[in-house]
Chains A and B, each alone.
Chain A
């Protein structure tokens, strides 16, 4: 049985923990996330990676001479559990920050609880709510790589730049509000860029066979397909299209599973657009993550850990800028003026200001599988967008 996952589960159940951290005064932070349940594949690697990062920080002496005590609760992507977690963190554990790493359906109760207690709420690896964009709501912050509207602007700009023929665009979303909203936005945007949207498929989450959805896209005559949805929908739709013999080009958001799957499907016409550097870049920070993952015997493949690592960096930096003894007000002040060097994991620093709790600049790269080099390669280097 996987030791690392069992440890996380025990921590989430309130059993075990880090005796060193518990024995001392610490910066106490509560994380409610989907460690198990139907959406765990997206969030559990982020949580595992962030915990590994914070463990490293604690091993190096913590921040400002104090350890970070990261309390983790498994909400299984369920709003009621997330609400209970937030209540516990705020009323019993007296945390100075709450982190949400789960499905967007868990946001409302957690936001309500943190607002009541006036404690900052940090979205890590979970979709950034619109309240973090300018003009930002006072208490909400987000470090997640993907961002509604900006991602589609980049993806469609890439299609326009790359396509040599008139673009007949197929669009794919999962039947969840955030994905549908983004694909509706992309549909409108594509028209302004001179493309013709020919088909839009909204795929229900528990779908046993993606071929019927892919069939519609193929039969509509799409020569490009863009998908902004959870990875399962993005990858299964492109595989469904290929099974049908579709020879067009496909671009999707580079979720944490993208690097492995690009190498698995080996399809040079399948592009991913993303904001985290892939491990094929082999940066020093990637070596560091590899080493930690090996030492801690982490459950998830190392390629899936960058997002959580960035979240850990942001958390560390926010607490480092908070003088001891910490209060929610002090943490909030430090988060409202923060600049985090991501050591190349992103195209630039994550910078939060009083009115922008997403980042001031969003950077993107595009990758695909290069059949000549037999490797995942970059087809477009960092492109930045000013977040207004």
Chain B
């Protein structure tokens, strides 16, 4: 049972990060390679608000979440909007530059030492007993719940709300969507905002569970194979891809060799790229365009 819990926690981490990659790609066709840095920024945002609103932890989390959302919106309006009409490669390179800039700024501001936002919030990451002997930390449980809420929310949002439908339309055919009166800039900005919001939440929860250091950015990179395995333009794919990668990693640690867990995501990705490059649930045409 503990193995199952471990798989669920790891898959939730990957899934929560992956949905940011998918949202941006699905709506604006940009592969955001700074997503790991946005996740890191969300975590450091919590660190900043925790020291400012230490007495009101929920306010600190709320403010940090709103900040994470606004960062995505701002990045779109300040930078990515100007990439309209440029090649996809230019936009991708732009996200790499943003990532390097963010990493540098965060290191200069907070240094390279380990921080513990949970402690600053005055919360204890207690161990909770579930299903007999199996245990889970409070922050890990939070991760699973946050992933479930985020994905359910996004499915409902994209299917039933006006903005969600507009977002899907903009993703499918931006020209036609614009001709039908959909304001593309607003929709793209919303997609960026939602992506940095979910990435930020992932960063905050990981930081609460095991501390925060600038190396957290590499976790963003580890989630990338999960996104590609599931399909770059499919939220369901991101969920399934994360589950596959998480399961493979935990089972390899448990039954084969822990060292293999590091290469397994990339091995699975390679196999997927050979046999089905658009991923399990991705759209074939989309990957051909990239």
Q: Which of A's residues lie within 8 Å of B, judged by CB? A: 1-2, 5-6, 9, 35-36, 38, 40-41, 44-45, 175, 201-206, 208-213, 215-216, 219, 231-232, 235-236, 239, 242-245, 257, 261, 264, 299-301, 304
Contacts and interface: CB of A to CB of B under 8 A. Distances in A.
Contact of B108 (A2, A41, A175): A2
B113 A236 contact: no
A198 to B, nearest CB: 15
A223 to B, nearest CB: 17
Contact of B137 (A202, A232, A243): A243
A264 B120 CA distance: 11
A216 B10 contact: no
Nearest to A4: B111
B218 A206 contact: yes
Contact of B127 (A9, A41, A205, A243): A243
Contact of B213 (A35, A41, A213, A261): A41
Contact of A211 (B9, B211, B219, B222): B9
A210 B211 CA distance: 12
Contact of B253 (A216, A232, A239): A216
B215 A257 contact: no
A279 B38 CA distance: 36
Given A243-B127, A243-B135, A208 B112 contact: no
A377 to B, nearest CB: 21
A6 B9 contact: no
Given A41-B112, A205-B218, A243-B140, 5 more contacts: A2-B108, A204-B259, A209-B9, A211-B137, A257-B114
B65 interface: no
B104 interface: yes
B113 A300 contact: yes
A83 to B, nearest CB: 22
A32 B14 CA distance: 36
A275 to B, nearest CB: 21
B259 A36 contact: no
Contacts of A5: 107-108, 111
Contacts of B9: 209, 211
Given A206-B218, A212-B250, A215-B3, A2 B258 contact: no
Interface in B209-238: 209-211, 213-215, 218-219, 221-222
A245 B253 contact: no
A40 B214 contact: yes
Nearest to B202: A208
B249 A212 contact: yes
Which among B14, B104, B113, B211 has the greatest number of chain A C-beta atoms within 10 A?
Answer: B113
Contact of A206 (B110, B113, B219): B219
A212 B213 contact: no
A38 B108 contact: no
A244 B140 CA distance: 12
Interface string B1-43: 0110010011001100000000000000000000000000000
Contacts of A35: 112
Interface size class on chain B is: 35 or more
A13 B215 CA distance: 22
B140 A211 contact: yes
B147 interface: no
A376 to B, nearest CB: 17
B6 A212 contact: yes
23 contacts: A2-B108, A2-B110, A35-B112, A36-B107, A36-B214, A41-B112, A41-B214, A175-B259, A202-B258, A204-B259, A208-B13, A209-B9, A212-B6, A212-B10, A212-B254, A215-B6, A216-B258, A232-B213, A243-B125, A243-B135, A245-B135, A299-B111, A299-B113
B68 interface: no
Interface in B182-213: 206, 209-211, 213
Contact of B111 (A213, A219, A300): A300
B113 A232 contact: no
A208 B10 contact: yes
A203 B258 contact: yes
A117 B74 CA distance: 51
Contact of A202 (B10, B209, B210, B259): B259
A44 B127 contact: no
Contact of A264 (B110, B119, B259): B119
Contacts of A40: 107, 112, 214
B258 A41 contact: no
B173 interface: no
B152 interface: no
Given A208-B13, A209-B140, A236-B210, A2 B3 contact: no
B107 A201 contact: no
Contacts of B135: 243-245
Contact of B116 (A1, A9, A206, A264): A264
Contacts of B13: 208-209
Nearest to B257: A202
A326 B210 CA distance: 48
Nearest to A203: B258
A205 B111 CA distance: 19
B218 A1 contact: no
A324 to B, nearest CB: 37
